[in-house]
A and B are shown apart, each in its own frame.
Chain A
Amino acid sequence: MSDTASPTTTPTRTLPEVTVLFAGDSGDGMQLTGGQFSHATALARNDLATLPDFPAEIRAPAGTLYGVSAFQLHFGERAIHTPGDEVDLLVAMNAAALKVNLGRVRSGGTIIVNRNSFAQRDLDLASYESNPLEDGSLEGYDVVEVELTKLTREALADFDLSTKDTDRSKNMFALGLALWMYTRPIEPAREWIRGKFATNETIRDANLTVLNKGYHYGDITEAFAARYEVPPAKLDPGVYRTIKGNDALALGLVAATVKSGLKIFYGTYPITPASDLLHALSRYKEFGLRTFQAEDEIAAVGSALGASFGGGLGVTATSGPGVALKTEFIGLATMTELPLVVIDVQRAGPSTGMPTKTEQSDLMMAIYGRNGEAPAPVLAAKTPGDCFEAAYEAARIAVKYMTPVLLLSDGYLGNGSEPWRIPDPDALPDFPVHFADSEDAPTDEDGTFLPYVRDAETLARPWAKPGTPALEHRLGGLEKDERTGGVSYDPENHQRMTVLRAEKIAGITRELPPLEVEGDDNGEVLVIGWGSTYGAIKAAVNHIRDESDLRVGHVHLRWLNPLPADLGEVIERFGRVLVPELNHGQLVRLLRERYLIPAVSLPKIQGLPFKASEIQDAIRAAASNAN
């Protein structure tokens, strides 16, 4: 442990960007390894994007193909928008991890394998007919065989640890080796180990020892021709941290509670991949926000709406199956015209689908999935860091327009991380809140409160909370009289109320900023995307514009409902519209219907984000059809 400063004998080469993939058993700690490598990379000032990819089973049987857990990381000196199309370095902790992930490695890429996990039993579990390390099937790759298990055991021979505990440390060997290969700092990982195992000195020291062994292994073996250096990225000035989408959502909600003065009540039920939001928010009680782990998804949203009735801001978050259960309450929020934020961290469906895999297939459900005419604003976050602003915006709109708002994130954003320039709280948009009181509330000639008399501009009704004298009123799911809020079965009133509720939501377009068109302002192809595909589309559009004369623009929609008023105008400036989505074609249908255009769909429904190259191919194809 004292030799960390020993001189490096291996030459160092500089690269503009690199993609690394750690893969192993779900019990091998690959997510931790990837997370620590990302952390070191952020501190090395690179831009980065990550893709954690793990099975739904918590501990799948060891060595199996379906038990493989992986963490992909793309970092560079230039702006990084995707977790990387092709992997430069694969660290495979066993045969199954190699089998599952080999296809992602570029030809000529480096593969580090744990030589000790290629016995006959490992090969059988991974369905290998012959040993890939011996049968020549890895020709064309730079394969480095490391006896990870053996070296770890040797390193810990003097420790009083079971074989099981010893073997659990081998991911630290892999981490140390990868840090060495890419000349990342090792100290952040050490600090993390010291903190994590503060109460167990033996485990702490074992992990530190193995981490060091891995770091120095490269110099000792001469198996590596070179180390690599990725220079710092030129990011905008500011203070940065790395952030995952789910954590950014939590911070956005805290910011909303601070700026509005409204107490957030977060009612939720555990569900993959949204639970981390509860884990984060439940720690922030000093901001006055309350978290409530309800008995089910319905109680989660019901309690949130109850809190909104009480003058708080009710928020609930879930994934697709949970939204399905919450739909009746979202309709009640529409009818009672109370603020409510519903966050959907989408995952592959239908039904239970693939809980740990990402997808964007809840768009239609978010916009239309309720009984009756129940319009609701729908917005989406585009990067992990952008989840912060999206959450803040969702809360602000819910209160300003007295409406439920659906905010779409997804598993890729929720678990993925990136360097994030920390926003200045003072620079956030204002978040004014007004509660009606007996002085200013609309009343009839007898002085009775009229809870459905609207603000002329926003069409929002007044928010009168219990405890306010003279404004006692009853809300409910039955159709409301246009003024009194009393129960009404009047046919004309129902039509007027239905139109009013729709106009209120449509009116949100008034405050949307002009659309930003990235790339070319007019030309052959306009790529329209939403949500987590932002990075892949941006990378693809940049690439096409660099390599060809094609004029390609990119619009990424924050608001899916209502659609921005100037979208039609932008569309007219391009020959063709391409809509890449991680679903079977949902936004594309909305655009075709709304603008009567033959928009081209690029659907991907594999539980994985787009590769930039997939979108590049589609842009080229759309361009050739446009002429």
Chain B
Amino acid sequence: MSDDQKPKGVKPAGLPTGAKPAGPPKAAKPAGPPKAAKPAGPPGAKAVKPPARPALRPPKPPTARVVGAPAEGDGEAHGLPVLTRKDFATPADVRWCPGCGDYAVLAAVQRVLPELTEKKEDVVFISGIGCSSRFPYYMNTYGMHSIHGRAPTVATGLKSSRPELDVWVITGDGDALSIGAGHFAHMLRRNVDLQVILFNNQIYGLTKGQYSPTSEVGKVTKSSPYGSLDHPFNPAALALGADASFVARTMDRDPKHMQAMLRRAHAHRGTAFVEVYQNCNIFNDGAFFDFTEKDSKPERTVFVEHGQPLVYDDGTKGIMLDGVTLRSVNLDDGNRSTDDCLVWDEGDKTLAFLVIQQLFWNDALPRPFGVFYIEDRPAYDAMLQEQVEAVTEKKGEGDLRALLHAGATWTIS
């Protein structure tokens, strides 16, 4: 089966009833970091096809309704109509500013969804408030544009009561990390089986340009004419700190990479968190140009890929682990080779913390993108479903009359 295939609402294989959530299975770790013999290709291309990690994937149940990617040729084997990108578009006018990075995310989601589902009526988008949270209006699926910061709560209630649905949360840096930071963290620790796309533009767009909880210190905005004083969040680090079971980062100007991240997020069972660097060309234009534009991208970004060494700048530089410190090294002066570089292991949380935290706000080092961390642990909704079933099996279907008469009763005639 493909990595992209996600059996929704099926209980984790081998999880005993009422068992404590197990830690990641031993098999999650690669037997040993394979040494990459050949230099990595260009950063933009190499993360497109994620390595298969079969040990982490539960077996595909016979009733799984998810079709494989058309490229795999089994899309029609189910005898069901195959959806196309157009099926997911609504007639509603898309009202983002022309040039906004939000369009790229919408396009990527509409492009990958036909590969990931054959029943669009089972797909639900839940958003909060903000520019990005208009997203559900543009998806021809079920959706709710809820309350500022509260999308995780609505999505948690929905998924926990209807585990068979395919639920996506759309949020932004203000929505998820300011007014909704509490819910965001709790959703991640519970590991509700859904995908979260956080549009990080480091600014408040809808309220016309105040600094956000991800804005850099000293940012001059309408609400901070002398520069903002707030230390920013690093969303990926926050997610990892909240024990997210899937953490990835991508960017609006790399549609292929974004699609790859969306596929992998969807394949993950549990809360899959994808941070998207998104340009707000009206209030914070160019915030991520260092990482997204052709001239600077090779030097300023590193795309992590499971089992591959961390190399960047067209293979001329690498990231080496020196004690617990990450250093950039030249690979083209004959002193170092890719063998010296840190080999990425997306099942290693310690590595994930190192890379997410050290490769941040440091102009001397590249900014990482890709899947930082993935862990197979039971999803909240599946465990709740299982508990309900286990209790029902033990006690039998509820009998209202018996329940009303429980305890000491007496009869008056």
- Residues in chain A within 8 A of chain B (CB atoms): 39, 42-43, 45, 188, 235-242, 251, 254-255, 258, 263, 265, 267, 284-288, 290, 292, 294-296, 298-307, 309-312, 314, 328-329, 332, 336, 422-423, 425, 465-478, 486-487
A329 to B407, CA, bound (A): 37
Contact pick for B409, options A241, A311, A332, A467, CB 8 Å: A241
Mask, B384-413, CB within 8 Å of A = 1, is: 100110011011111011011111111111
A241 touches B145 (CB 8 A): no
- Tell me the dominant secondary structure on chain A's binding face: mixed
Q: Of B25-33, B55-63, B135-143, B343-351, which binds chain A?
A: B135-143
A287 proximity list for chain B (CB < 8 A): 398, 400, 403
B141 touches A472 (CB 8 A): yes
Mask, B198-227, CB within 8 Å of A = 1, is: 000000000000000000000000000000
Smallest Cβ distance from A358 to chain B, in angstroms? Answer: 25
Q: With an 8 A cutoff between CB atoms, is B186 at the interface?
A: yes
- Residues in chain B within 8 A of chain A (CB atoms): 90, 92, 119-124, 126, 129, 136-137, 139-147, 150, 152-162, 164-165, 182-183, 186, 384, 387-388, 391-392, 394-398, 400-401, 403-413
B411 touches A310 (CB 8 A): no
Given known A-B contacts A43-B408, A288-B392, A473 and B142 have beta carbons under 8 A apart: yes
A301 proximity list for chain B (CB < 8 A): 153
B409 touches A286 (CB 8 A): no
Given known A-B contacts A258-B400, A290-B160, A312-B161, A45 and B410 have beta carbons under 8 A apart: yes
B384 proximity list for chain A (CB < 8 A): 290, 292
Contact pick for A239, options B126, B156, B392, B405, CB 8 Å: B405
A468 proximity list for chain B (CB < 8 A): 121
A263 touches B161 (CB 8 A): yes
Given known A-B contacts A286-B395, A309-B158, A302 and B410 have beta carbons under 8 A apart: no
A478 proximity list for chain B (CB < 8 A): 145
A307 to B396, CA, bound (A): 24
Smallest Cβ distance from B228 to chain A, in angstroms? Answer: 27
Closest 10 A/B residue pairs (Cβ): A302-B153, A303-B157, A476-B145, A306-B157, A287-B398, A306-B154, A306-B158, A466-B142, A285-B391, A299-B153
A265 to B387, CA, bound (A): 14
A477 touches B147 (CB 8 A): yes
B158 proximity list for chain A (CB < 8 A): 306-307, 309-310, 466
A-B contact pairs, 20 of them (CB 8 A): A45-B410, A238-B412, A241-B406, A263-B161, A286-B398, A287-B400, A290-B160, A295-B183, A299-B183, A302-B150, A302-B153, A302-B157, A303-B157, A312-B161, A422-B409, A466-B123, A467-B122, A469-B121, A474-B137, A475-B145
Contact pick for B121, options A292, A295, A302, A472, CB 8 Å: A472
B391 touches A298 (CB 8 A): no
A472 to B165, CA, bound (A): 13
B90 proximity list for chain A (CB < 8 A): 474
A309 to B157, CA, bound (A): 9
Given known A-B contacts A241-B407, A299-B183, A475-B144, A304 and B157 have beta carbons under 8 A apart: yes
A475 touches B143 (CB 8 A): yes
A329 touches B147 (CB 8 A): yes
Instruction: Name the residue on B nearest A287 (C-beta).
Output: B398
A163 to B122, CA, bound (A): 63
B398 proximity list for chain A (CB < 8 A): 254, 258, 284, 286-288
B403 touches A310 (CB 8 A): no
Smallest Cβ distance from B27 to chain A, in angstroms? Answer: 32
Instruction: Name the residue on B nearest A423 (C-beta).
Output: B404
B387 proximity list for chain A (CB < 8 A): 285
Question: Which of B124, B150, B405 has most A Cβ within 10 Å?
Answer: B150
Question: Which of B161, B162, B164, B407 has most A Cβ within 10 Å?
Answer: B161
A471 to B122, CA, bound (A): 11
B403 touches A329 (CB 8 A): no
B410 proximity list for chain A (CB < 8 A): 42-43, 45, 239-241
A296 touches B182 (CB 8 A): yes
Instruction: Name the residue on B nearest A473 (C-beta).
Output: B142
Smallest Cβ distance from B411 to chain A, in angstroms? Answer: 5
Contact pick for B404, options A43, A251, A286, CB 8 Å: A251
B139 proximity list for chain A (CB < 8 A): 474
Given contact pairs A237-B413, A286-B394, A288-B398, a sample of 8 additional A-B residue pairs in the complex whose CB atoms are under 8 Å apart: A235-B412, A265-B161, A285-B387, A288-B388, A299-B153, A303-B156, A469-B119, A469-B121
